[in-house]
Structure 1
């Protein structure tokens, strides 16, 4: 019984790492629950699905000459027109790593209910 609870929490480790890389929380939790040693190595080696901000994403078109300029530019380097600077995408969206606390709560609740059922109803 203690082994099941330990396996559930070890599966949570792989699921949280996978979620931060843009992967499925539930699938990686199950994978970590069943095969923690393999899953932890796998999740550390798997590439992130989150796209890194590159310079091509930090550009916009000038409203006057349609040439690409930086988001924070206040003057177009091609035509010299004044433009309104925009915040970068990294500033508006944060770092992109958010933990889905509702999934963590559901997982903790299911582990707790499983523990109660095993403890009080004598499932052996």
Structure 2
């Protein structure tokens, strides 16, 4: 079995920060998608995924991120990525998805941006 773990830290009512560890591939992408969508269904429509500990990401993992983005958007939420591995950052740039999926150097930067954004401010 491929190493993978999603650890969620809820930092606000509608915000969840999740740390992804391991490989995002054909074997783990469905778990990533299921666990991230469960966070959205629990009311955490704004997701920050910290990918600093991702060691590999193939097209299945990439597609899971796109699917999570679509579900967050359908829930009137957002998906933000943090600490992208270089290869995944290049893939987002090449596909044009970097315009839809904001990325920050660290989860702390993403949290500050979320807090300061009028679109995601909570009452």
TM over 0.5: no
Larger relative strand fraction: 2
Larger relative helix fraction: 1
Specify the TM-score bucket, using the shorter chain as the normaliser.
under 0.3
Return the TM-score normalized by structure 2: 0.23
Higher relative contact order (CA 8 A, sep 6+): 2
